[in-house]
Amino acid sequence: MLYSILPEWLYNEITNSFLPEFVFEIRIRINKPIVINYKGNYQVLCRKDGYNNTAIIANIELVEYVLNVATKQSLYAYNDQIKHCYVTTDSGIRIGVCGRVVSNEGKVSTIKNISSLNIRVSHQVPNCSEKILNFVYVNGNIKNTLVISPPGAGKTTLIRDLAYKLSNEKQVKNLLIVDERFEIAGFCQNSILQTGDYSDVISGCNKYFAFNEALKTMSPAVIVTDEISTEDDISSIKETIKSGVKVIATAHAGSIEDLKYKKYFDSIIRDKYFERIIVLSTRNGVGTIEGVFDDNFRCLYIPYMI
């Protein structure tokens, strides 16, 4: 996937120093060193020059090249994404963007003079949800589950594999993936990101629309979604669970204590909508499972204590 959006010279420099399957992010900042998130650790990309390692400095031409390829030479066509600080390619690579925000009557209309890119690479990691599967799927029933961690700790990869296992191994019919930013399942129907034989995907829309409209038309047994954060997200999840549909979601939080004080989350935590809370970190690499907790915050599983 990386080869499709990077200039050949940069792709070669990266693969000469790193195994592509463990490259999680590529940070490109104009007039600054290119930085690689490799196995959860950030390293400056260097060009090997004899006995010296010289940091590779990004320039505006590199930023423009990546953006033009990612947007198929049409930034305007991707402006709905760009004004939310990202672009997602057809293969499911999300590129965070920073630059000058242009507003009109208090609303962001676009971002121009883009100066930084964060290329986040989607990974299929088979069986990464194996350890937590039986805490989510119990005696034939799915527990409403929230996966939390700081950014970049593997939440999306975990729920992608979990969706696949529920759909294929547990034969859960009609699993709906709400993929707002095209990261869980990718954009194309022939995406290499596998989500299971009994899964449907709705992408490119906000969660409020997807939960309310697809709920009526697709009759899902379970909905899987990523990065809930807004009041509308929380409201949609509450109504969905009340309707008898199970929900598996992720959110940014460093710990359960952080989650308790996170804006909009107080009622959904207090009223025990989520029966399982799974905490991830990068302590022993991306996707480290710190623990599985029930709706009373009792620890059900800590891997390093087993």
More confident residue, 277 or 301: 277
Q: DSSP H helical segments within 122-265, as ranges?
A: 130-136, 155-164, 207-209, 215-218, 231-242, 256-260
Distance CA 179, CA 238 (A): 18
- pLDDT per residue over 66-122, tens digit each? 999 999 998 999 999 999 899 988 777 889 999 999 998 888 999 999 999 999 987
Can you give the pLDDT at residue 192? 52
- Both tokens assigned to 92: 């499911």
Give 245's contacts (C-beta < 8 A, 6+ positions apart): 215, 220, 221, 222, 223
Measured in whole angstroms, how far is the alpha carbon of residue 115 from the centre of its chain?
23
pTM of the model: 0.85
Contact at 8 Å (CB) between 189 and 147? Answer: no
Largest CA distance in the chain: 65
Burial class of residue 139 in the structure, from the number of CB atoms within 10 Å of its CB (0-12 exposed, 13-18 middle, 19+ buried):
exposed
DSSP state of 227: -
**Is residue 53 very low, low, confident or very high in pLDDT (cuts 50, 70, 90)?**
confident
Measured in whole angstroms, how far is the alpha carbon of residue 268 from the centre of its chain?
22
Distance CA 47, CA 117 (A): 20
DSSP state of 215: H
Can you give the pLDDT at residue 183? 83
**Is residue 51 very low, low, confident or very high in pLDDT (cuts 50, 70, 90)?**
low
Q: Sketch out the chain's domains with CATH numbers.
A: 2-120 (3.30.450), 130-305 (3.40.50.300)
- pLDDT per residue over 207-246, tens digit each? 999 998 988 899 999 999 999 999 999 999 999 999 999 9
